[in-house]
Amino acid sequence: METKTLDQIKGQYYGEIGTPERDRIERELESLRIGFKIRNAREQKSMTQAELAERIDKKRTFISKVENDGGNITLKTLFDIVERGLGGKLIIEVQI
């Protein structure tokens, strides 16, 4: 049996890198990762969603949506969550 890399499996099931379908899936996955990282940081600080929401003047349901979806938030909101809400530092990297 031939061993395949994760990239080979992704290419087989989701399309090759650079195709529209693969790009869409990768963006969705990155959005989920953002939400997951926010949830982990909040839990490490023993904060509830309501406490985080209060720090950034949002509703608890908004924090829940961000943590479960991560997508469709502005950069300002992302900075607010990480820096004002969690007391961290947001670093954004652009790869070309």
- Residues 37-69: tens digit of each pLDDT: 999 999 999 999 999 999 999 999 999 999 998
The helices-and-strands tally (H runs, E runs) of the chain is 5, 0
Residue 48 DSSP one-character state: -
Domains of the chain plus CATH, in order, are 6-85 (1.10.260.40)
Considering only 2-6, 13-17, 53-57, 88-92, which range has the smallest mean pLDDT? 13-17
pLDDT at 55: 97
Q: ∠ CA 81-44-36 to the nearest 5 degrees? A: 60
Q: Rounded to whole angstroms, how far apart are CA atoms 8 and 70? A: 26
Residue 67 DSSP one-character state: H
pLDDT at 53: 97
